[in-house]
Amino acid sequence: MKFIERLRLAWMAQQSLLCVGLDPDPAKLPRHLAGAKHPIFAFGRAIVDATADLVCAFKPQIAYYAAARAEDQLEMTIAHIRRHHPTIPVILDAKRGDVGSTAQMYAQEAFERYQADAVTVNPYLGFDSLAPFLEYADKGVIVLCRTSNPGARDLQDLAIGGRTLYQLVAEKAVREWNANANVLLVVGATYPQELGEIRAIVGDMPILVPGVGAQGGDVAAVLANGATADGTGLVISSSRAVLYAGSGGDYAQAARAAALKLRDEINASRKVR
């Protein structure tokens, strides 16, 4: 089954557009995990198990694992999701962007080593940097378009032939790069107007939306500008606001409460047109 088909099934079965990002910072882990053999895995496993019925996807961020020399614990976490929550897609947040054989290795890393269902990529080097990922027709390729950080305006707002760079990326994504129907876009929740512009360009193409929670994106504005006519089309990601909702022995229960609150807030703003 292709990634986007799996995502649509998760939207329906879970009645959720929420994605929980797994960004495990060793400095923020509960103290009682310090003696665990695999503390980052133990932390992520508990978060996953506590929130799996509330989400449409999980999104581990590879940098947090790699910086802690814990790539094996990333593999363990994804394997746990596949074994115990097999209907929930896994998005590897890696933002890869290179060319030639290097891009091929990055694609192999994401889809074969880590067994991710989708990966985030940077289109700045052009189509040949995306092609090795796109060749995995059953996997999702999530292209950075209008990111949530303040510095996004430095380049993404540049005018090119009467359009902004992010509009051009959206147009290429839907018209040139999506031959296998496996392309998605990243658009930050902190730019709801731009999200609406991009939705108008790409039609029903799914959009990953980071930036709610700790970054301050407005849920209602995201839904109003980004949802498709059936009230879906979005993967709304929150990481820190869920992961670190609690810091004691009940951190997983606190994460669940935060995820439930956000899931319900999202659903309250969903409208079918």
The catalytic residue among 95, 139, 261, 271 is: 95
Strand order in the sheet with 57-60: 57-60, 18-22, 234-238, 207-209, 183-187, 140-146, 118-121, 91-96
C-beta of residue 103 within 8 angstroms of C-beta of residue 128:
yes
Q: Is the dihedral of CA 116, 117, 121, 126 positive or negative?
A: positive
Token pair in block for residue 246: 């609690």
Q: Is 161 left (phi over 0), alpha (psi -120 to 50) or beta?
A: left
Active site residue 95: yes
Report the distance separating Cα 16 and Cα 104, nearest Å: 33
Q: How far is residue 4's CA from residue 141's CA, in Å, rounded to a whole number?
A: 10
Residues in a beta bridge with 125: none
> What is the CB-side half-sphere exposure of residue 218 using CA atoms within 13 A?
8
Hey, which residues are catalytic here?
A: 95
